[in-house]
Amino acid sequence: MSNEFTRDWFDDGRDPAQDDPVRAARFGMRPALPKRFYEAVSIGEAGGRYAVLLDGRPARTKSKAVLSGPNMAVAEQLAAEWAAQTGEINPATMPATRIVHAALDHVENAMAEVRADILKYAASDLVCYRAADPARLVERQAQHWDPVLAHIRARYGAGFLLSEGITFVTQPGESLKRLAPRLEAISDPIALSALHVLTTVSGSALVAIAVADGALDADSGFDAGECDADYEASVWGIDEEAAQRRALRLADFRAATALLRAIGG
């Protein structure tokens, strides 16, 4: 896999969550997707890891790291994305590959910074900012967000303050400190990269942690992050482009969750 291909189509392996969470949609809108240049996709051993092989040769990131995971489950998730490409390769349909690219090329050497960024989200977390009305939105937020706060409180002893509207509320420093060991426990860069994607797509570190803990499944966690947007769509409707962007975000969220489950992050 050429460096030019990975640079042009996987954006240098950067974490897609660093930008707008719907950034992945832009891949699909590029005018000329690259042709599939390989016949067979398989999995092989490389340096004690499980690597994706394209026609028997290891796929590599822009930084020349072998595209691989710590176990067969991760490699199978990656290989399935490459095998699913037909005449053309569309990175918008390869969220796990993009997450692993970011992990191997960037997150592995910036674990502390990524953990700090996730905690930053918790300091102004989505689930703490509630609407005063209409009643249907208030109820929807409570339905999706109260279980997240309850899980965080029960498991970590961390309580978070709520605010009405967009008025900023300073969260207790002790609550944020109680979450730090959970992030420190994640030693695999792919798992941490996946958690960062969950955080940025949902806009909530608390939702991301609840998903990582298994308190929420992928779709429930995604719905929690989309709570306000889905309410607006129920009132005003949703156009085709917005629906496509939502589908891409959901694919990213599901892929990140699957990687976490495979690694046990």
Residue 217 amino acid letter: D
- Confidence tier at 21 by pLDDT (50, 70, 90): very low
- Number of separate helices (H) and strands (E) present in the chain: 12, 6
The pLDDT, as a whole number, for residue 32 is 78
State pLDDT tens for residues 24-75: 444 445 557 899 999 999 999 999 999 999 999 999 999 999 999 999 999 9
Rounded alpha-carbon distances, angstroms, from residue 151 to 8, 36, 213: 41, 44, 9
Q: Answer yes or no: pTM beyond 0.85.
A: yes
Q: What are residue 54's phi and psi, to 5 degrees? A: -110, 110
Q: State pLDDT tens for residues 68-104.
A: 999 999 999 999 999 999 999 999 999 999 999 999 9
Reported as a single tens digit per residue, the pLDDT across 135-175 is 999 999 999 999 999 999 999 999 999 999 889 999 999 99
Would you state the pLDDT for residue 7? 54
Q: Under a CB-based contact definition with an 8 Å cutoff, are residues 218 and 254 in contact?
A: yes
Cα–Cα distance, 226 to 21 (Å, whole number):
12
3-state helix, strand, coil in the chain (%, to 5): 60, 10, 30
Structural domains of the chain in order of their starting residue, each with its CATH number = 3-91 (3.30.2180.10), 110-263 (1.10.3580.10)
The residue to which tokens 């629906």 are assigned? 243
CB distance 221 to 200 below 8 Å: no
Q: Round to whole Å and give the CA distance between 245 and 264.
A: 28
Task: Give strand pairing partners of 41.
Answer: 54
User: CA-CA distance, 99 to 95, in Å (whole number)?
Assistant: 6
Query: pLDDT at residue 134 above 50?
Result: yes
State the DSSP H helix or E strand holding residue 234, giving kind and residue range, or none if neither. helix 227-236
**What is the CA angle 69-72-24, rounded to 5?**
50
| Longest CA pairwise span in the chain (Å) | 58
pLDDT given for residue 31 in this prediction: 56
Q: Which residues of 70-96 are buried (b: 16+ CB within 10 A; e: fewer)?
A: beeebbbbbbebbeebeeebbbbebbb
